[in-house]
Chain A
Amino acid sequence: MADEITLEVARYRPGVDAEPVMQQYQVPLREHWAILDGLTYIKDQLDGTLSFRWSCRMGICGSCGMTVNGEPQLSCATFLTDYAPGPIRVEPLRNFPVIRDLVVDIDDFMTKLPTVKPWVIRDVDEPVEAGEYLQTPEELDDYKQFSMCINCMLCYSACPVYSLDQDFIGPAAIALAQRYNLDSRDEGAEERRAVLTSPEGIWACTFVGECSAACPKGVDPAGAIQRYKLTAATQSIKELLMPRIKR
């Protein structure tokens, strides 16, 4: 195994660069190093001006999403040796405005997420003294997959529809709405409906499926979206044919 590997890292300095410029760095090729370790080495030893987000280093916080050799990846979950002999191209997460270097503006997602009301909604809240809302293991399985989302936004980076139209609510937001819609303790599906069924909601999705391919936690947002399309369409047809029935 060679000693070193080249990282080609996108640098963008607002007010200085018109567009990102690639800068090459040689980092040690250690067997257990992730891209993130390479970037940390650069910042510590080679170039302290490099900016990037990270936190847990173990694929659970969702902070370190980047574009590695054209693919959306968590930089803590992709290893240097996977790309040897390199060079490895590291760019900011696509489809988001670049603030600086590898740091992107995620305000769009942060504004969209609350609109799908990602919390348990009850018609009437039980008093605390009544105890927990009980749930069987089968009821947990119904939504558990969608609860694994770490809000890393690799899915938004992979989604061609989002790349063309930032108004699209996006895969993670819909998957998180489904996480609650399918939760037996939740009674708020009707409250989420308007946002999800707006033209920039589920109907803009064309089931490309790239979101699920990019997801590091196996959430399958594409599946969540298609299931909700069927739910919403069936509900609309029922309402058309039987308008008097209250949901």
Chain B
Amino acid sequence: MSVYQRPVKLFWWLEKRSYVIFVLRELSSVFIAWFVVFLLLLVNAIGDGAASYQTFVDWSGQWWVVAINVIAFLFVLLHTVTWFALAPRAMVIKMRGTRVPAQGVVAAHYLAWFVLSAVVAWVVLR
């Protein structure tokens, strides 16, 4: 008896909105890796002195580098938002016998994010 197997298209994820968002979320990891490269270039530039740091700032001020970093920033935000949204599904935390509601877990993540970002900004900009 011959059964029928529906073939899977190469770009199966273009067929549904939720799949597209999923693949974009996964691709955000590429921009996380880009950030690490950018960070190491920055560290190298700072370590080589004021002149090399200034050269780096000038280079990263060029329109195409800013464009890459703006796009990267949007993807990194996508990563953060989706990561926090999914966190309560992976961790079940109980306090005094009852399960912490999902919004509580998400809120704690955003609070930590805000506090950490404020600390980093203060350290860098003071």
Contact = CB atoms under 8 A, between A and B. Distances in A.
| A contacts B: CB pair < 8 Å | yes
Nearest to A230: B90
B1 A14 contact: yes
A227 interface: yes
Given A94-B6, A98-B6, A209-B22, A223 B89 contact: yes
Contacts of B97: 138
Contacts of B114: none
Interface string B57-86: 000000000000000000000000000001
A207 interface: yes
B95 interface: no
A94 B19 CA distance: 15
Contacts of A20: 4
User: In the complex, which range does the number of interface residues on chain B fall in?
Assistant: 20 to 34
B3 A97 contact: yes
Given A19-B4, A210-B22, A230-B91, 20 more contacts: A15-B1, A15-B2, A70-B15, A97-B3, A97-B4, A98-B4, A98-B6, A99-B3, A105-B3, A138-B97, A163-B8, A164-B8, A207-B86, A209-B22, A213-B18, A222-B89, A226-B89, A226-B90, A227-B90, A227-B91
4 closest Cβ contacts across the A-B interface? A226-B90, A97-B3, A223-B89, A98-B4
A98 B1 CA distance: 11
Interface of B: 1-6, 8, 12-13, 15-16, 18-19, 22, 26, 86, 89-92, 97, 99
User: In the complex, which range does the number of interface residues on chain A fall in?
Assistant: 20 to 34
Interface of A: 12, 14-15, 17, 19-20, 70, 94-95, 97-99, 105, 138, 141, 160, 163-164, 206-210, 213, 220, 222-223, 226-227, 229-230
A229 B91 CA distance: 10
